[in-house]
Structure 1
Amino acid sequence: MTRIFETPLYPYTRSPDQDAAEPRRHTVIVVGAGPVGLAAAIDLAMKDVPVVVLDDNDKVSFGSRAICFSKRTLEILDRLGGDPGLVEKGVTWNLGKVFFGDRQVYGFNLLPEEGHKRPAFINLQQYHLEKYLVDRVTELAAQGKPIEIRGGSRVTAVERQANGVTLSVETPDGPYRLAADWLIACDGANSPVRAMLGLDFVGRVFEDNFLIADVKMEAEFPTERWFWFDPPFNKGQSALLHKQPDGIWRIDLQLGWNIDKDEEKKPEKVIPRLKAMLGEDVAFELEWVSIYTFQCRRMERFRHGPVIFAGDSAHQVSPFGARGANSGIQDTDNLAWKLKLVIDGAAPESLLDSYDVERVHGADENILNSTRSTDFITPKSETSRLFRDAVLDLSERYGFARPLVNSGRLSVPCAYDGLPLNGPDAAGLPARTRPGTPAADAPVKGGWLSDRLGGGFRLMTIDADAPDRLDFDQIAVERIALTAADDPSGMLAERYLGSAGSAVYLMRPDQHVAARWTNYDADAVAAALARATGRA
């Protein structure tokens, strides 16, 4: 049976652009058809922005790669036209366990409260997500949306112009040139686009390596994240176990710094390591093996005129914490609506500078957490190791020590606290839904709040009066009118009302809170919208 990552999904076909006398111009070109590039293209096409995706490949990625997709990512995918089968295909989990040696020292629950449409995480091989996104592109194109993927199309040169960019593209039929108003580079940590433009990518490389193995087996481990410090099967190092769909298990084993990577990837080296962990009698097959080195890096700026970087091309973190793909999809969630407004002339081009400000803020938060995790997992001195081991011992019996245990702080949605697009706040409303935060989901009459918010500006009122629709200089704001009758569980009031009797929230198209009040004020809403769209 042909495996999904062996099947061409967008094979090369000759484009009319290749026969044009002059470079054909496109509104947006996305380089890279991984999860981040595809999410960006889908978001733009749904907003009727013409977009072309270029990729030198014609199929999804080989190997599980990114596997942990967070609640926030799932909510974004829902907005992009999510297929419920995607979550059903994934392995849902909220629970994790941490082991020190051969004993469990504590467990955790990443989503202990009820009232959310999506779980804390699903585990799903990256190739399944990419296949879903490619299918979504095909579906949108069939509906007449302006989106296209060109496989077998490798970008070999990028030139910035006064009014956009010009690209050279290599294909099986030879090279040709394209022009674009905007270029979004989603071409990975080794970004050729970034290199062609001579841009920076600086940070820290940690002196350690991990073996990743996708193992097909039948096993009785529960659907939880298991992390070991100094396990008996990998003494002095660490290990991680995750369940995936299709009987595949993801195993990460710390190897240390001075290793021969090519040698360590050989089956005769990998299989004994796995048998030491799983037991000599456990039957398994190796599906994919790789070795990665911890790295935490980012570009100084993510926007360079008409060229905008997203995902691993802009920032890279070590994989513990599931921050790579999740933060990349949050990049595109932040970017697409801003680029749409700029293209339509509904916002100044300077609005795109807020993408740089907000997502650099998100990248720094991820790098900080990832660096702390890496330092705890791989202590660089004997003193650090003694401290870590003492914390692990104490965490088995004492609650105060457990927050200090860091086996990878799991990805959480980024809050843009104190950043320029945020409008006013009101006293008495809950801190968790302050301006800059992503909307907290809650059950409402007939479904979920996250589904009601959609992908445009919304004025959400709770027991407050306001017009059903507002129009401000080409920007429409639709009202979501909610009352106590829409909140039978009381969770909406808990998350959005607090001690106030009523509330009015201005929501951005990426479902982040722009501003909030206890009552509607037309002038205040207009001023907050101007600020949120870079016109203040």
Structure 2
Amino acid sequence: MAYDYRPFPYAPPPGLTAPEPRHPVLIVGAGPIGLAMALELANHGVRSVVVDDNDVVSVGSRAICWSKRSLEIFARLGIAERCLEKGVTWKVGRTFHRDREVFNFDLLPEDGHRMPAFINLQQYYVEQYLAEAAIAHPLIDLRFKNRVTALSQSDHVRAEIGTPDGPYRLEAEYLLACDGARSPIRGLMGLDFKGELFEERFLIADIEMEADFPPERHFWFEPTFHPGQSALLHKQPDNIYRIDLQLGWDADPEAERQPDRVIPRIERVVGHSDFRLDWVSVYTFQCRRLDQFVHDRVIFVGDSAHVVSPFGARGGNGGMQDVDNLGWKLAAVLAGGPETLLESYDRERQHGADENIANSTRATRFMTPEDGAERVFRDAVLRLAGKAAFARAWVNSGRLSRPCTYPGLGPDADLPVGAAPGMVAPDAPVAEGWLQDQLRGWTLLAFNHDAPDVGLPVLHPTGDNARARYQGDAANALYLIRPDQVVAARWITATAAEVTTALSHHKEGRPWP
């Protein structure tokens, strides 16, 4: 493969020779979600131990499309610049029906944003950058070749760990299961997903080739090079191109992975044979999740809690939004805050997962319609979309990842702009650099407003972009921002008592009102 896989060092853990003190947090899984979780907790001063039964980054490109919100989170974790430097930046998508371009779209048409709409960057690079940052951080103890073999919980969690040098025990206040879609922790606890498994298979092929394809998302319905099915093309770093091809439910996954099957298919896509196979996988569409993500002191994060079909880039990005939501809440609980904050993680991220599942399910049904009314509708929409702009909104090749709006946050003033409670506070250039860099804890944003003194930092952002995104043409505006940069409440004007009431609701994890 093009990527140089190098094992991370294994070191015998101290628990092999003497009992370890109880740790605040044990994180299972050193993939992008587990590593990001450790770094986010460290930003809040929380120590963690991260264990993983492997010692290399993930094999294959896997998650490649990282959204604007994930990049904003990466900035907090200290890896955004590396990702931007290595990744392929894109914002334009083109949709084709057979050989005809039906329409195209621009995901970030306005200026004044630090992060692009998306970058394409193989998951192994993201894991490498996160792992290197975690290894360098004094609050993170990253242990490779450490596998959880059993666990129990009471007023804390006890985990039995296997290593090349024998077993030992770890105790922690909380265990975060960040161990992926096949989560061993989920298996140890006898938990299972609920949802829908679609009778459809897709081939992923990463190929290395010299080409001049633009950095855009290209999606085809029923292309002539793959009749009757769907196809997707993305450009990645290192001259690697991702090609997804619909195979149908009757395809034999093992046979379809073989080069003698894959290479002719790819030749028909790119029109030549001057390429090298880098990685091949076959996957099945599924949109499923756990009934609840918080099980006493075991908390599920990312793919261990929910899985979606890959079109729309909602898997890895949805997991990063879990990290964003949980980090400050768990840190607050460990500092003596109410456990209802963890209930709010469960409530809010179930909402986020359900939104992702709904979008992925709709995309899957449009891309792989059943014979009958579904197919008639899909084909009619594709014919119409090339001629009528209103029909383009009905074409669904995967609604690309955006952070959800959490319900039950407020109060909400009737301001003429879109940064409503429950939404991520939009970034903007300000005199001091970028607004989100200053939103690292509970903060008030005041626009033409003398903010009441409630013991919180107060920012008075300047600049046309900030005013346009928060104030609009209103005379005043006041925003309460959570530590995860989500708008908790907004007013045209507010008293100290009103702000304090909203703040106490959020610090206790209670919905509004």
TM-score, scaled to structure 2:
0.97
**Residue deviations 1:247-273 (CA, integer Å, cap 9, x gap):** 000000000001211111001110000
Are 1:234 and 2:233 an aligned pair? no
Q: Is the 8 A contact 2:72 2:80 kept in 1?
A: no
- Counterpart of 2:130 (choices 128, 133, 138) is 133
Are 1:291 and 2:282 an aligned pair? yes
Partner of 1:17: 15
SS of aligned partner of 2:93: strand
Distance (whole Å) between structure 1 residues aligned to residue 291 and residue 101 of structure 2: 41
SS of aligned partner of 1:433: coil
Partner of 1:495: 469
Q: Evaluate the alpha carbon distance shift between residue 23 and residue 159 of structure 1 in structure 2; reply closer, same or farther with a 3 A threshold.
A: farther
- The one-letter code sitting in structure 2 at the alignment partner of 1:46 is N
Q: Evaluate the alpha carbon distance shift between residue 155 and residue 535 of structure 1 in structure 2; reply closer, same or farther with a 3 A threshold.
A: closer
Partner of 1:438: 424
Q: Counterparts in 2 of 1:93-242, with a 5 A limit? A: 93-141=90-138, 146-161=139-154, 163-242=155-234
- The one-letter code sitting in structure 2 at the alignment partner of 1:239 is A
**Residue deviations 1:266-325 (CA, integer Å, cap 9, x gap):** 011100000111113x41000100000000000000000000001000000000000000
Q: Counterparts in 2 of 1:409-428, with a 5 A limit? A: 409-417=399-407, 419=408, 422-428=409-415
Partner of 2:441: 456
Q: Which moved more, 1:307-316 or 1:38-47?
A: 38-47
Identical pairs, percent? 55
SS of aligned partner of 1:227: strand
Shift of 1:520: 4.2
Q: Is the 8 A contact 1:17 1:24 kept in 2?
A: no
Q: Evaluate the alpha carbon distance shift between residue 92 and residue 307 of structure 1 in structure 2; reply closer, same or farther with a 3 A threshold.
A: same
- Counterpart of 2:349 (choices 349, 359, 373) is 359
Q: Number of paired residues?
A: 510
Shift of 1:450: 1.8
Q: Is the 8 A contact 2:54 2:144 kept in 1?
A: yes
Q: Counterparts in 2 of 1:329-408, with a 5 A limit? A: 329-345=320-336, 347-408=337-398
Shift of 1:429: 4.3
Q: Is the 8 A contact 1:28 1:52 kept in 2?
A: yes
Q: Which moved more, 1:440-449 or 1:227-236?
A: 440-449
Q: Is the 8 A contact 1:5 1:61 kept in 2?
A: no
Q: Is the 8 A contact 2:454 2:496 kept in 1?
A: no
Shift of 1:83: 4.1
Distance (whole Å) between structure 2 residues aligned to residue 446 and residue 23 of structure 1: 44
Distance (whole Å) between structure 2 residues aligned to residue 107 and residue 257 of structure 1: 29
Q: Is the 8 A contact 2:71 2:80 kept in 1?
A: no
Q: Is the 8 A contact 2:14 2:20 kept in 1?
A: no
Q: Evaluate the alpha carbon distance shift between residue 151 and residue 257 of structure 1 in structure 2; reply closer, same or farther with a 3 A threshold.
A: same
- The one-letter code sitting in structure 2 at the alignment partner of 1:149 is L
Q: Which moved more, 1:68-77 or 1:523-532?
A: 523-532
Question: Which consecutive residues of structure 1, in runs of 5 or more, have no partner in the other structure?
Answer: 472-476
- The one-letter code sitting in structure 1 at the alignment partner of 2:500 is A
Q: Which moved more, 1:235-244 or 1:271-280?
A: 271-280
**Residue deviations 1:455-514 (CA, integer Å, cap 9, x gap):** 2111111121236x743xxxxx222123xxx21xx2222211123112111100000000
- The one-letter code sitting in structure 2 at the alignment partner of 1:101 is R
Partner of 1:6: 5
Are 1:480 and 2:459 an aligned pair? yes
- The one-letter code sitting in structure 1 at the alignment partner of 2:438 is R
SS of aligned partner of 2:457: strand
Q: Is the 8 A contact 2:454 2:500 kept in 1?
A: no
Q: Is the 8 A contact 2:82 2:129 kept in 1?
A: no
- The one-letter code sitting in structure 1 at the alignment partner of 2:187 is A
Q: Is the 8 A contact 1:465 1:520 kept in 2?
A: no
Q: Is the 8 A contact 1:458 1:508 kept in 2?
A: yes
Shift of 1:381: 1.7
Q: Evaluate the alpha carbon distance shift between residue 83 and residue 412 of structure 1 in structure 2; reply closer, same or farther with a 3 A threshold.
A: closer
Are 1:32 and 2:24 an aligned pair? no
Q: Is the 8 A contact 1:167 1:179 kept in 2?
A: yes
Distance (whole Å) between structure 1 residues aligned to residue 251 and residue 151 of structure 2: 37
Partner of 2:496: 522
Distance (whole Å) between structure 2 residues aligned to residue 300 and residue 83 of structure 1: 33
**Residue deviations 1:388-417 (CA, integer Å, cap 9, x gap):** 111111111100110000011100111102
Distance (whole Å) between structure 2 residues aligned to residue 535 and residue 314 of structure 1: 20
Q: Is the 8 A contact 2:256 2:262 kept in 1?
A: yes
Q: Is the 8 A contact 2:342 2:509 kept in 1?
A: no
SS of aligned partner of 2:7: coil
Distance (whole Å) between structure 2 residues aligned to residue 253 and residue 200 of structure 1: 29
List, as ranges, runs of 4+ consecutive aligned residues in structure 1 with deviation greater than 3 Å: 2-5
SS of aligned partner of 2:415: coil
Shift of 1:427: 2.3
Distance (whole Å) between structure 2 residues aligned to residue 509 and residue 207 of structure 1: 41
SS of aligned partner of 1:495: helix
Partner of 2:314: 323
Distance (whole Å) between structure 1 residues aligned to residue 81 and residue 349 of structure 2: 28
SS of aligned partner of 2:422: coil
Q: Counterparts in 2 of 1:224-263, with a 5 A limit? A: 224-263=216-255
- The one-letter code sitting in structure 2 at the alignment partner of 1:459 is L
Question: Which consecutive residues of structure 2, in runs of 5 or more, have no partner in the other structure?
Answer: none
TM-score, scaled to structure 1:
0.93
Q: Which moved more, 1:171-180 or 1:82-91?
A: 82-91
Distance (whole Å) between structure 2 residues aligned to residue 427 and residue 380 of structure 1: 43
Q: Give the aligned CA root-mean-square deviation in angstroms.
A: 1.4
Shift of 1:148: 1.0
Q: Evaluate the alpha carbon distance shift between residue 429 and residue 522 of structure 1 in structure 2; reply closer, same or farther with a 3 A threshold.
A: farther
- The one-letter code sitting in structure 1 at the alignment partner of 2:102 is V
- The one-letter code sitting in structure 2 at the alignment partner of 1:260 is D
Shift of 1:50: 1.1
